[in-house]
Amino acid sequence: MILNERKWQILIALALGTIMVPINTSIVNVALPFISSGFNTNLMGLDWVITSYLITLIGLVLFFGRLGDMYGHEKVYLSGLILFIFTSILCSFSPSITYLIISRALQGIAAAMMISVSLGMVKKAFPPHELGKALGIYAVAIAAGLAIGPGIGGILIGFFGWRSIFLPNVPIGIISFLICLFVLKRGNGEKGKWDIPGTALQFTTLFLTILFLNQLEAGSFDMLEILLIIFILVLFSLFIWRERTAENPLLDLSLFTNYTFSSFSLALFFNYIGMYMVIFVLPFYIQKVLHYGPAITGLILTVSPLLMMIIAPFSGFLGDRMGSRPLAFLGSLIMALAFYLMTLLTIFSSIYLVIGFLSILGIGAAIFQAPNNRAIMISIPDTSVGVASGILVTMRNLGMTFAVSFASLLISSTISRTLLESPVLYNLDSYNFTQGLHLVALLGTFLSMLMALLSIWGSRRLKKVKPLVKEIITS
């Protein structure tokens, strides 16, 4: 492993660039009603403003992770950073909803280029005994972006209109790019043949999966969706067969024979499903059931990300000293407790109770994520960090996508979608919605318990990691 003398400068530069991705994800949601008015578009058009970004982001992270392994992570990251700046300008000046959707798709490509290789670059820059702390600080950038995105969006829209929400990416991106030029050492990677069929199969499978989840979220499930499921399974099977037989596969399936990598990656997937189910449902509960305004709702939803910002670096530091298993296990149990406590919420609950439960959830997630990511990254060889980083990003974003679909299905099982369009809910309707919230919380509890079990199972195989790393995490 080549350790960089400018490791902290590299981390700052990567965090500064990476923070634009979660900001860009959360800030657009605030602007959707204003985009609808500005372009006089319907709900389907608005859906594609978000979906086009997610499809290219999720569908191409493995592609760019592999590209980074072959041609250099730094080159891919810097190219993505430049493209992200350019596409932000395109989004801001889009003359129609069609141009905005296309620009958002291009922006998703740029985001995939950046976040697919950034974790691998952090791993290469830091020694094993400091990797947990570095990943904790990196996690702060993600949490900070999610926390401040809606607030920044609201302020910019209020003063300058919705087109202004994309423009902060320009100065942030330029500053990050200039820092990267001075601190990053551009490597060449290990050349190899490109797996074009595997890339096409992987992208098509993820594209159709996201399309299917959007259909479920809209309440549609008929013969067309059944055929879509079958087609997705066939494509996925073909992708696995291709990767098993390809000379230079897009996805090295041997990574998943590593119990540590597989277990902690799956735990991370469950973590994001649980977290984002709650983030999706609670705004409806706070506004429609408890009858608070959007400003208060936005402030309350920042509780978990803010706590994660504070605690994650310390969790990563402790992971370097204690090992990943105890912290990941403890964080999972705390999250399970938070989700279970949410089943106690009623139509009469105090807003302070909601804040308290979200605080417990944020603490648990902060304790879990940095050690979990550390365990994943130290369990793989340096030659696969790009692909592994891409897998982590895919897990995160697919988890968020699945979360919205699962939460929508559970809520719609207790209250009709027509009633959900009402500004506020009363009496029996409020009670029915709260019952749906309880189902979401129970699923979150179950997933958190699975995370705890996976943390124990994956740690059983940590003995296969390099002797130096084992000595550090067991000291």
Q: What is the pLDDT of residues 50-67, one digit of tens each?
A: 778 888 888 888 888 878
Is 161 found in the same domain as 32?
yes
Nearest C-alpha neighbor of 380 from the set 454, 469, 297: 469
Residue 468 has pLDDT above 50, yes or no: no
**Residue % of the chain over a pLDDT of 90:** 23
pLDDT at residue 162 tops 60: yes
* 405-422: burial string, b at 16+ Cβ within 10 Å, e else: bbbbbbbeebbeeeebee
Q: Are residues 329 and 409 in the same domain?
A: yes
| Residues 1 and 16 reside in one and the same domain | yes
Question: Is the model's pLDDT at 321 over the cut of 90?
Answer: no
pLDDT of residue 355: 94
Interior/surface letters 19-49, b for 16+ CB within 10 angstroms, e for the rest: bbbbbbbbbbebbbeebbeebebeeebbebb
**Do residues 199 and 338 both lie within one domain?**
no
Note the pLDDT of residue 470: 42
| Whether residues 339 and 222 fall in one domain | no
Q: Are residues 337 and 228 in the same domain?
A: no
Residues near 224 by beta carbon (within 8 Å), at least 6 away in sequence: none
- Tell me which residue of 388, 391, 464 sits closest to 124, measured CA to CA: 388
Question: How many distinct structural domains can be found in the chain?
Answer: 3
**Domain boundary at 206, 231, 247, which?**
247
* Mean pLDDT of the chain, nearest integer: 82
Mean pLDDT of 70-98: 90
125 and 170 belong to one structural domain: yes
Among 182, 212, 247, the domain boundary falls at 247
Q: In the structure, what pLDDT confidence band is assigned to residue 467 with cuts at 50, 70 and 90?
A: very low
Amino acid type, 184: L
- Amino acid 466: pLDDT: 41
Looking at the structure, tell me whether residues 359 and 467 fall in a common domain. Answer: yes
Give the pLDDT confidence score for residue 431 in this predicted structure.
93
Structure confidence at residue 42 (pLDDT): 62
Q: What percentage of the chain exceeds 70 in pLDDT? A: 89
Residue 53 · residue 108 · CB < 8 Å: yes
Question: What pLDDT digit, counting tens, does each position of 355-372 carry?
Answer: 999 999 999 998 998 888
User: Which of 184-193, 235-244, 304-313 shows the highest mean pLDDT?
Assistant: 235-244
**Domain containing 16: what range?**
1-194
* Tens-digit pLDDT profile for residues 368-385: 988 888 888 777 776 666
Do 288 and 153 share a structural domain? no
pLDDT digits (tens, 9 = 90+) for 25-43: 777 766 776 787 788 776 5
pLDDT per residue as tens digits for the range 133-148: 787 777 777 777 776 7
Tell me how far apart the alpha carbons of residues 371 and 377 are, in angstroms, rounded to a whole number: 10
C-alpha 200, offset from chain centre? 23
- pLDDT for res 4: 54
Q: Are 170 and 139 found together in one domain?
A: yes
Q: Phi, psi (5° rounding) for residue 48?
A: -75, -20
Is the pLDDT score of 458 beyond 70? no
Mean of pLDDT values over 82-97: 93
The Cα–Cα gap between 144 and 70 comes to 31
Q: 302: which DSSP letter? A: T
Which phi and psi (to 5°) does residue 3 adopt? -95, 135
Please give the DSSP secondary-structure letter assigned to residue 188. -
User: Which residue type is seen at 249?
Assistant: P
The CATH code of the domain that includes 174 is 1.20.1250.20
Q: What is the mean pLDDT of residues 60-86?
A: 86
The reported pLDDT for the residue numbered 386 is 67
Query: Computed from CA positions of residues 433, 435, 439, 444, in that sequence, does the dihedral angle turn out positive or negative?
Result: positive
Check pLDDT > 60 for residue 473. Answer: no
Which of these, 370, 232, 380, lies nearest to 313 by C-alpha position?
370
| Residue 32: C-alpha distances to residues 25, 111, 206, 324 (Å) | 12, 20, 24, 40
Note the pLDDT of residue 351: 93
Which of 206, 224, 247 terminates a domain? The answer is: 247
Q: What is the mean pLDDT of residues 258-283?
A: 87
Residue 334 CA to its chain's centroid (Å): 20
Is the same domain home to 238 and 381? no
User: For position 198, what pLDDT does the model report?
Assistant: 83
Please indicate, yes or no, whether residues 124 and 229 belong to a single structural domain of this protein. Answer: no
Say which DSSP state 291 is in.
-
Residues written for the chain: 475
Confidence category of residue 452, pLDDT binned at 50, 70, 90: very high
Q: Which two tokens mark 161?
A: 């209109």
Neighbours of 226 (CB within 10 A): 10
